[in-house]
Amino acid sequence: MKKVVTFKVLLVLAIFGAMTSCKKSSSSKNSSRATGWNINDREGGFQYNTDFNEQETSPGLVFVEGGTFTKGRVQDDVMHDWNNTPTQQHVQSFYMDETEVTNIMYLEYLDWIKRVYPPTDENFRAIYHGALPDTLVWRNRLGYNEIMTENYLRHPGYAEYPVVGVSWIQAVEFANWRSDRVNEYNLEKAGYLKRDAKTLDVSAESNFNTDTYINAPTQTYGGNEEVINAEGRNRRNVRVDADGNESNIFATRETGIISPNYRLPTETEWEYAALGLSEIRSYNLYRGRKKYPWDGQYTRSGKRKVRGDQMANFKQGKGDYGGIAGWSDDGADITNAVKSYAANDYGLYDMAGNVAEWVADVYRPIVDDEFNDFNYYRGNVYTKNAINDDGTVKIVTPETIVYDTTSTGKLVARNLPGEILQVPVDENETYLRTNFDKSNEINFRDGDKRSSRYYESFNEEDENAKADSETRKMYNSPKHNVTRDSLGNIIREYDKANNRTSLINDEVRVYKGGSWKDREYWLDPAQRRYFPQDMATDYIGFRCAMSRVGSKSKSKTKTKG
């Protein structure tokens, strides 16, 4: 009996000690090591999410742990251009869409635009039309493809097929929209926004934008207090001091609730993710090199159960888009539903075949590892928030929507109502910096005047050099011009000069991966091609990525108090 009592006493003491330890740990966590002041005090003061564990995986994404790998062509070069010389690159951890963006995902985007910016309103017509995929990409002069032209985007039979006919610009705008919708939902769940405001209170004058919420939260939803700070809102986050003053009314970056933006993956990220190297890792090295997203040197499965089955959707030969019916068939002649083929070792589907995919980079024939081997990316254009005379940020209104006129004459909205107007960074941000010196760094050491083979520093102001500068550039591509007259009619002026030397310019983007229309050669993740950023095809789609914040690896265990 005595032993039992002793055991119970020890058990109570152990439990008490654990509770005390947790309490001390919690107290220590909420006490500043800089000042000793309390963090997250009920009376106000500095508020910070000290319970944050790691970034929550956003909808549709899978985690890709970063690392070092050999980027570039390590296999065949039947095109004889060798435009992806092998370089050692390091990629930070990131997230990537499990599948390509599908028709049903893109239709949700179009539905939202149609509800918020009705195309029946003359002011908004170009917004919806500018977001529509080009379904005419399916037409062929000597082929009958009207069934896809009329049905591919909208028919339920193609719901889970990858969306095509989307330009690089449209893909970027989709990613921006997706970022706002996910963060809007996160804030609603956390009690910072009115429940269901995202569907009941949204309009062209009243909607949510992540950057606006962070920089000017009172102007979110057009300043509608019923949505952003109302009685119907869950106010469990608000702090009230002894005088009745409220704080912590709006979520900030410090809460950890607002996720990074969805975006297009960089070329380096895409290639790293496509290779799926995790299975062949050996300590700090990768054993051998992979030709495809799956193991082996062939496009057919070697597994006993499915031996001989094609591992991807691609063109097997001239006039052979799927194989002989019922035998040796890859299951598709055009695109196929996502997840129809096995995922790679990161859990990513269709990283070869189905559709090729847009990535973020501006195309250049050579990737030079002398300049950067950490998160390599060409295409940086740095901007900042436009500021009004009174020091507030400039919010885009329905009357000040910013449109781009593409080379085809199509209008695409780049700044929608509710967003903060963006302008190029200036000398205030670049003066005496060593890491960047101007807003547009696309041409850094490649294609600009200083990198031209004809550049002479002592002759920079020579008038003759200015006169023929068009032909002295490294990338001397045609310059077509599209304008509109006072009635809105498109005026197209074609560049008919016969001294053009390239199709490469600052508006062509890289796309990766083979498609249903490509031969086996293009399934190699190292292959790279380019296409104008404002044009679309029937074989290029896209998927989104998201940067990871915090640790390189996902937490294996969680510390308990």
Q: Mind spelling out the 3-state secondary structure of 49-107?
A: CCCCCCCCCCCCEEEECCEEEEECCCCCCCCCCCCCCCEEEEECCEEEECCCCEHHHHH
Superfamily, domain 56-189+259-377+506-555: paralog of FGE (formylglycine-generating enzyme) (3.90.1580.10)
Q: Mind spelling out the 3-state secondary structure of 401-439?
A: CEEEECCCCCEEEEECCCCECEEECCHHHHCCCCCCCCC
- CA distance to 456, 467, 469, per residue, from 461 (Å): 10, 11, 11
- CA distance to 97, 231, 261, 292, 552, per residue, from 63 (Å): 9, 38, 15, 20, 11
Residue that the structure tokens 């074609």 belong to: 494
494-508: string of b/e by CB count within 10 Å (b at 16+)?
eeeeeeeeeebbbbb
Per-residue pLDDT tens, the chain, 561 aa: give them.
555 556 565 666 666 665 555 544 555 678 888 998 988 887 778 888 888 888 999 999 999 999 988 888 656 667 667 677 788 889 999 999 999 999 999 999 999 999 999 999 988 999 999 999 999 999 999 899 999 999 999 999 999 999 999 999 999 999 999 999 999 999 999 888 988 999 999 999 999 999 999 999 999 999 898 888 755 455 566 666 666 677 778 888 988 999 999 999 999 999 999 988 644 444 344 444 556 666 666 565 656 555 556 656 666 768 666 766 665 566 778 899 999 888 888 999 999 889 999 999 999 887 765 678 899 999 999 999 999 999 999 999 999 998 888 888 888 898 899 999 999 999 999 999 999 988 998 888 775 555 555 555 444 444 444 444 444 556 778 888 888 887 778 888 888 888 887 888 889 999 999 898 987 778 888 889 999 999 999 999 999 999 999 999 886 644 444
CA distance 170 to 369: 30
Residue that the structure tokens 């944050």 belong to: 52
- Structure token pair of residue 253: 């970056």
Max alpha carbon distance in the chain (Å)?
A: 106
CA distance 210 to 217: 9
* Structural domain spans, the chain: 56-189+259-377+506-555, 380-441
Shortest CA distance to 528 belongs to which of 81, 94, 137, 166?
A: 81
